[in-house]
Amino acid sequence: MTPFEYAHPRSEAEAVELMNEPGTSTAVLAGGTDLIRLLRRDLVTPQRVVNIKDIPSMQGIKPVDGGVMIGALTTLEDLAASPLMSEYHSLHHVLDGIRAIQIQSSGTVAGDLCHLPNCWYFRNGYGLLGMENGESLVETGDNRYHAIFGNRGPAKFVSASRFAPGMIAGQARVRVVGPKPDAEEWLPLEYFYITPKTNAQGVTVLKPGQLITHVWLPGTDTAQGKVQSSTYEVLQLEGLDWPLASAAVSMVVQSGVVQDARIVLGHVAPVPWISHEASRTIIGRRVTEETAAAAGEAAVASATPLSNNGYKVQLARTCVKRALLRAAGQETGGL
Amino acid sequence: MSTPDRDQNTANGTGFSRRDFIRGSGAAMAATAIATSTVEARADDKAAKPNVKPAEATEVTLTVNGKEHKLKLEPRVTLLDTLRTDLSLTGCKDVCDTANCGACTVHIDGKAVYACTRLAHDCEGKKITTVESLKDGDKVDPVVSCFVKHDASQCGFCTPGFVMAVRAFLNSKPKASLDEVRKGLGGNICRCGTYHGITECALEMAKGG
């Protein structure tokens, strides 16, 4: 690990100030489960680590504007235990799959949203794009866990966030502060992620000196009816594991017919992958085994698998189908 | 830097341990490494700011198993490295180093955490508990006895991490079901495959056995 200074601000303003001193590169530390790994391998080498964990305004969950305001530092176990979150089923489905008390007690909501890709080329020093001598190692190498959508450019990793698909389906917004002292902006979470063309661009719109402070989720009661949501993740291991693919659904059903639906796939593209094709297929129909399967089929019609990850197309197809059935309360059996 | 209590790391009671021997022979080498890093350390020409510690070693007080330790550490030092090398609390193991395997599990303020992905400076003012605290004279924590009873250990390298995970898990869910055990205790890996015994152990403890 390359030496770094250690800053421990107690307010958002102080954090932004400490993250924006000219000539000092910084990294944000919260739960640490991702950052310390990156530091250990010198994959990030900040001159200063800013520990934001003790900023009171970024903690806890509150009802705001008919929805919930989730502090960026909310841990997974606090998210799971909050009565305010009880109707957000898609997030609970994700929480159920994070099967380690060590991660549940340390991991934070924004830490998940900002988690860097688990691509093994990136984790072993070949950059986000996994390039060596101008050639993509991912394209010709072992790409079994890589992208099947949005992979025509140089980025072939998959977005690591597990909450992002469910939160984007649920139309979450994030509050970003910095780099200027009073700068604050709210943006839809779906615009937060980018597919980089160079290693330096990163995986989100966050610029150096910016951080997420809050996530806001709209309420689950709308004029059209109650929002039904779910996430379906395919995990290889029984213990702690990252999904091979996932799909999240957020929909409103009236008299048995889907009025509105947002379907977002995870771990299949460099960004959480919004499938308008799948949404279009299910809107105006009843959710049945057949229509859900048709939506799954529509979701993967434009997939472009790499040499070793064709199997993920089937996983994605099934994720969409099962997430729809789960959201509609028709879940049957296990795998 | 405090000198660790000699009795604490002399497991066999003979006053001599393998670790002491290894430490002795490595001391000369370590001294060289420290000297080099001091020379390379960047001069801190910026004005000191409150709430910012320089990259060089600064004082930090850690409360481990109820005892305070004054240490001088660089911010980059992890809790795991401090516990093992500065405090000779080698029950937490350095295995994957990437928050995956759970062998380094300790408790911070009663919650199970991976010590490999915590900075030592980040733990100042918190209550750190290691597996060594589960033994007090002849008395051991029931989780340990229950591990023995269910043969929940084979080579034993992952066991301290598992024991600490099970202890924290049962503290928060004393009546846990099998489903809850599966959802909570997946953060530790055992290469020998003793999961069955560990699950049995957790369930028996949860039933008040």
Per-residue pLDDT at B23: 60
Could A106 and B55 be called an inter-chain contact, meaning their C-beta atoms sit closer than 8 Å? no
Which among A5, A101, A240 has CB closest to B75? A5
Domain that holds residue B174: 136-206
User: For the residues A288-295, what does the mean pLDDT come to?
Assistant: 97
Q: Read off the pLDDT of residues B154-197 as tens digits, 9 standing for 90 and up.
A: 999 999 999 999 999 999 999 999 999 999 999 999 999 999 99
Give, as one character, the DSSP assignment of residue A213. E
Is A32's CB within 8 Å of B118's CB? yes
Q: Mind telling me how many Å the CA of A85 is from chain B's nearest CA?
A: 19
- A194 in Cβ contact with A202 (< 8 Å): yes
Across the interface, do A240 and B186 touch by the CB < 8 Å criterion? yes
Question: Is residue B112 classed as helix, strand or coil in its secondary structure?
Answer: strand
The confidence score (pLDDT) of residue A227 equals: 98
Handedness of CA A153, A155, A160, A164 (dihedral sign): negative
pLDDT band at B24, cuts 50/70/90? low
Mean pLDDT of chain A: 96
CATH number at residue B172: 1.10.150.120
Please answer yes or no on whether B76 and A100 come within 8 Å at the CB atom. no
What percentage of residues in chain A have a pLDDT greater than 90?
97
Q: Does A49 contact B at CB distance below 8 Å?
A: yes
A-B contacts at Cβ under 8 angstroms: 117
Residues above pLDDT 70, as percent of chain B:
77
Q: CB distance B113–A105 less than 8 Å?
A: yes
SS (HEC) of A94-126: HHHHCCEHHHHHHCEHHHHHCCCCCCHHHHCCC
Structural domain tally of chain B?
1
pTM, rounded to two decimals = 0.91
In order of A190, A239, B40, the CA distances from A242 in angstroms are 21, 10, 39
Indicate whether B183 belongs to any domain: yes
- What pLDDT was estimated at residue B123? 98
Instruction: Check A39 against B184: CB less than 8 A apart.
Output: no
* Mean pLDDT score of chain B: 85
Please report the pLDDT score of residue B50 as a whole number: 85
pLDDT bin (cut points 50, 70, 90) of residue B15 is low
Q: What are the domain boundaries of chain A?
A: 1-58, 66-117+137-335
**pLDDT value at position B208?**
79
Partner residue facing A32 (CB), from B55, B117, B188: B117
Residues of A in contact with B97 (CB under 8 A): 37, 40
Please give the CATH number for the structural domain made up of A66-117+137-335.
3.30.390.50
Per DSSP, what are the bridge partners of residue B73?
B58
- The answer to whether the Cβ–Cβ distance between B98 and A32 falls below 8 Å is no
Q: Please state the rounded mean pLDDT for residues A103-109.
A: 97
pLDDT confidence bin for B43, thresholds 50/70/90:
very low
B15 to chain A, minimum CA–CA distance in Å?
A: 35
DSSP string, B155-209: S-SSHHHHHHHHHHHHHH-TT--HHHHHHHBTT---TT--HHHHHHHHHHHHTT-
DSSP A46: -
Contact A137, A119 (CB under 8 A): no
Q: Residue A309 is which amino acid?
A: N
- How far A60 CA sits from the closest chain B CA (Å)? 18
Residue B99 touches chain A, beta carbons under 8 Å? yes
Q: How far is A42 from chain B (nearest CA, A)?
A: 12
Percent of chain A residues past pLDDT 70, beyond the cut: 99
What chain A residue is nearest to B122 in terms of C-alpha separation? A51
Asked if B53's CB is within 8 angstroms of A3's CB, the reply is no
Whether residue B111 and residue A10 make contact (CB cut-off 8 A), yes or no, is no
**B82 found inside a domain:** no
pLDDT at A172: 98
Mean pLDDT of the A19-27 span? 96
Interfacial B residues in 125-184 facing A (CB < 8 Å)? 165, 168-169, 172, 182-184
- Residue B41 reports pLDDT greater than 50: no
- Distances, alpha carbon A76 to alpha carbons A59, A103, A107, A303, B92, in Å: 12, 8, 6, 32, 24
Whether B12 shows a pLDDT value over 60: the answer reads no
Among the partner-chain residues A4, A14, A37, the one whose CB lies closest to the CB of B117 is: A37
What pLDDT score does B25 carry?
Answer: 58
Nearest chain B residue to A118 by CA: give it.
B98
The pLDDT of residue A238? 86
Reply yes or no on whether the pLDDT at B81 is more than 80: yes
On the question of pLDDT at B1 being above 80, the answer is: no
Our CA-based measurement puts residue B189 at a distance from the nearest CA of chain A, in whole angstroms, of: 8
How far does the CA of residue B136 sit from the closest CA of chain A (Å)?
25
Residues from chain B contacting residue A20 (CB–CB below 8 Å): none
Q: Would you state the structure tokens that stand for residue A202, as one six-digit string?
A: 């990163």
Q: Is the pLDDT of residue B8 over 50?
A: no
What would the pLDDT profile of A153-211 be if each residue is shown by its tens digit?
A: 999 999 999 999 999 999 999 999 999 999 999 999 999 999 999 999 999 999 999 99
Instruction: State yes or no: pLDDT of B26 exceeds 60.
Output: no
User: Do A36 and B168 make contact, defined as CB atoms within 8 angstroms?
Assistant: no
Q: Name the residue type at position B76.
A: R
Architecture per CATH, A1-58: 2-Layer Sandwich (3.30)
* Candidates A18, A106, A238; nearest CB to B113: A106
Neighbouring CB atoms inside 10 A of B53's CB total 22
Question: CB–CB of B52 and A6 under 8 A?
Answer: yes
- Which residues of chain A have a CB within 8 Å of the CB of B55? 3-6, 47
Whether B79 is covered by a domain: the verdict is no
pLDDT of residue B49: 82
CB B55 to CB A33 under 8 A? no
At residue A224, does pLDDT exceed 60? Answer: yes
pLDDT at B48 over 80: no
Average pLDDT for A34-47: 96
Complex-level ipTM: 0.94
Contact A18 B41 (CB under 8 A): no
- Cβ contact (<8 Å) for A99 and B51? no
